[in-house]
Structure 1
Amino acid sequence: NSDDNLPMNTVVLFVPQQEAWVVERMGRFHRILEPGLNFLIPVLDRIRYVQSLKEIVIDVPEQSAVSLDNVTLQIDGVLYLRILDPFKASYGVEDPEYAVTQLAQTTMRSELGKLTLDKVFRERESLNANIVHSINQASDEWGIRCLRYEIKDIHVPPRVKESMQMQVEAERRKRAMVLESEGTREAAINVAEGRKQAQILASEGEKAEQINKAAGEANAVLAKAEAKAKAIGLLSEALTLENGNAAASLSVAEQYVSAFSNLAKESNTVILPSNTGDISSMVTQAMAIYGSLGRTQGRSLREGIPPAPEPAAPEHTSSI
C-alpha cells in the first residue's frame, strides 16, 4: 500500500469489517487494529499497512510453457487467495499479490513440464491442484493462503492443433468401425441363436407329434381289441340263446356271399373251393365244423388235452 492511500491517525478510528490495519509506534510494529472502534496516540502511532481479509482474485497473465513432449503452449489462469496473517503479509514480502502472481507463473511452467500434451488436457483438474499445493508451500511464510487456481485457456500451435484434430477424427473412425464390427457380430450371433432355437423347437414339435401319434395308435389298437372282445362276448352270448345256430348260419351265409362278391376285384387269379356254387352246403359244413370245434374244445377242457386242428376243405384253382 502506498502512503497516499493509507488512513491518517485521527486519534479515534473506525476500522471496517474484513480489514486489518497494521500500526507502527515510533517506526516499530505495535499492533493490528481490529474492526470497530480504536484509539491511537498522535505523532507516536502511525498506520503503516492496510490488509484486506477478503478473498482476492488475481488474473495470471498468459505465458509460454513447454510440455514434456516439447510442445510450446500459451496458457493463462485465475488465482484465488486470502491473507491469513496480516503481519507476515506486511513484513514478509514487499508486494504479496505480485509475489504470488510470479510464483503461480513459475509453478505452472514447472508443472506443465512434467506432463505430455495429451495429459495436460485430460488431467487439467489435477494440474490445478498441484499448482495450488506448490504455491501454498512457498506462500506460507507470507501469511497468504492460495484457495484455488483455475486454468482459463490453453493455446497450442496451429500445426499441433491440426494434428490433434486429425488424431481425434482417426479415433472417431476407429470407434465407429469397432462399433460396426461389434454390431455385425451381435447380429450374426442373434441369427445363429434364432436358427438354433428354431431347430430345437422343430425337433421338440416332431417329438411331441410322434409321441401323440404313437399314443393314438396305441389307443386305436386298444379300442379295436376292446371292440373285438365285446363282439366276441356278444357273439358267445348270442350262440347260447335258443336260436343261436340259426343266427350263426345266417351270419356265415352273409359273409360267404360278401367274400365271393369281391374275389375278382383285386386279382385275376383266385383260389375257390370245389363246391363254390352250393351255398347251403357251405353253410352246413361251416356249422358242422363249428359244432365239432365246440365239442372238441369242451372235451379238451375236461381232460386237459389240447384240441387237434381240423382238416382243410379241398380246393382247386380257377382262373378268371
Structure 2
Amino acid sequence: MDMQTLLAQVTGNQILVALLALFIVICVLLGVRIVPQSEKYVVERFGRLRAVLGPGINLIVPFLDRVAHKISILERQLPNANQDAITSDNVLVQVETSVFYRILEPEKTVYRIRDVDPAIATTVAGIVRAEIGMMELDEVQSNRAQLILKIKAQVEDAVDDWGIEVTRAEILDVNLDQATREAMLQQLNAERARRAHVTEAEGKRRAVELSADAELYAAEQAAKARRVQADAEAYATSVVAAAIRDNGIEAAQYQVALKQVEALNALGHGTGKQTIVVPAQALEAFGDAFRMLRRSGGGGAA
C-alpha cells in the first residue's frame, strides 16, 4: 500500500467521523428542547399531536418530532370593548368591558379555535347583552358586582373547551345616551323634592305630637293637683265631722264663732279711717261668739 492510498483512507475516516459527530450534534440540538417558565410547546409527529412540553429540559425524537407551536401561558388582557345592550325596561346602554385570561391547555387552544381573542370578545359581548337584557337599568347600576360574577361564570363555561381560564371580567363603565341622562336627572330632582316634602311633613307632624303630649301632660298634672286638693278638703271635712261627732254641736259653733271673730278683727285693722256698720243680728252673733270663746277659754283655764 503506497502513501497516497494510506492518506486517502485516513482522510476518508476523518470525514466519516466528522460527519458522524455533526450528525450527533444535530440530533442533540433537535432532540433537546429547553422550555421557558412562561411557555408551553406543542409537539407534532407527522402532523399529529405528539406531546405538550412544560417548562424545563425536554427530549423529543429528532427528525420525527417537531415543535409546532410555542404558546405563552402568561395572563393576557383583551382590548377594552364597547357593546350596546338594552335593559328589560327598554333603556339603551353602552357597556365597556375588559377580560383577563390565560391558556391552561395549549393543545385545545391550538386545535379547537383559530383566533382566541376575537372568539372570547364575541362570547363576552353576547353574554353581556343577554344578562343586561334581563335586568332593569337601576339593577345594572346598583348590582354591578353581581353582574360581573354572572358574566365571568358564563364566559368560563363557554371557553372551557378551548383550554382557557378566565381570571377576571370587569365592567368598566355603563354609559347612557343624553336623553336618558336628562330624564334620569329630572327623576332624581323630583325624588329629592319629594323627600324634602316628606321630611317637612314629618317634622310638622312630630311638632303637633309633641304639643299634644305637652298639653296632655299639663292636663294630667292639673288633674293630679285637683285630686290632691280634693283629698285635702275631704280630709279637713272628715276631721271637722269627727270633732262634731266627738264633741257635739258646740264644737261646730265654736269654730263658727272663731271665724267670725277673726273676720271682725281683720276689719278693725284696716288702713285709713273707716266706719263699719254692723247689723243687729250680726252683733248678737258676735256676742254669742265672744261668750263661747270666753267659756272655751275659761274651760281651758279651769
Q: TM-score, normalised by structure 2?
A: 0.65
Residue 169 in structure 1 maps to residue 189 in structure 2: yes
Correspondence list, 1:1-320, <5 A: 11-216=31-236, 218=238, 266-269=278-281
| 8 A contact 2:30–2:63 mirrored in 1 | no
Tell me by how many angstroms 1:54 deviates. Answer: 4.1
Distance 2:283 2:94 in 1: 120
**Residue identity in the other structure for 1:139:** V
| 8 A contact 1:60–1:105 mirrored in 2 | no
| 8 A contact 1:14–1:36 mirrored in 2 | yes
**Residue identity in the other structure for 2:51:** R
Aligned partner of 2:268 in structure 1 is none
Distance 1:194 1:24 in 2: 94
Distance 2:201 2:283 in 1: 79
Tell me by how many angstroms 1:69 deviates. Answer: 4.1
Task: Choose between structure 1 and 2: higher helix proportion.
Answer: 2
Q: TM-score, normalised by structure 1?
A: 0.61
Distance 1:89 1:117 in 2: 37
Identity of aligned residues (%): 31
In structure 2, relative to structure 1, the CA distance for the partners of 1:109 and 1:215 (3 Å cut) is same
Q: Deviations over 1:10-48 (max 9, x none)?
A: 543333335322222332211111222222333333222
| 8 A contact 1:60–1:101 mirrored in 2 | no
**Residue identity in the other structure for 2:152:** V
In structure 2, relative to structure 1, the CA distance for the partners of 1:223 and 1:44 (3 Å cut) is farther
**Residue identity in the other structure for 1:64:** D
Q: Deviations over 1:282-309 (max 9, x none)?
A: xxxxxxxxxxxxxxxxxxxxxxxxxxxx
SS in 2 for 1:46: strand
Tell me by how many angstroms 1:164 deviates. Answer: 0.9
Distance 2:68 2:76 in 1: 21
Q: Which has the larger radius of gyration?
A: 1
SS in 2 for 1:59: coil
Tell me by how many angstroms 1:166 deviates. Answer: 0.6
Residues paired across the two proteins, number? 233
Distance 1:65 1:20 in 2: 38
**Residue identity in the other structure for 2:280:** N
Distance 1:133 1:139 in 2: 10
Distance 1:106 1:271 in 2: 119
SS in 2 for 1:78: strand
**Residue identity in the other structure for 2:78:** I
Tell me by how many angstroms 1:173 deviates. Answer: 1.0
In structure 2, relative to structure 1, the CA distance for the partners of 1:13 and 1:220 (3 Å cut) is farther
Segment drifting more, 159-168 vs 73-82: 73-82
Q: Which runs of 5+ in 1 are unaligned?
A: 1-8, 233-257, 273-320
**Residue identity in the other structure for 2:62:** P
Tell me by how many angstroms 1:224 deviates. Answer: 9.1
Distance 2:282 2:241 in 1: 31
Q: Deviations over 1:109-155 (max 9, x none)?
A: 23333334333323323332332233233212112233432211122
Distance 2:283 2:64 in 1: 160
What's the Cα RMSD here? 3.4
Q: Which runs of 5+ in 2 are unaligned?
A: 1-28, 252-260, 266-275, 285-302
SS in 1 for 2:113: coil
Aligned partner of 1:288 in structure 2 is none
Distance 1:10 1:102 in 2: 40
In structure 2, relative to structure 1, the CA distance for the partners of 1:220 and 1:80 (3 Å cut) is farther
In structure 2, relative to structure 1, the CA distance for the partners of 1:33 and 1:176 (3 Å cut) is same
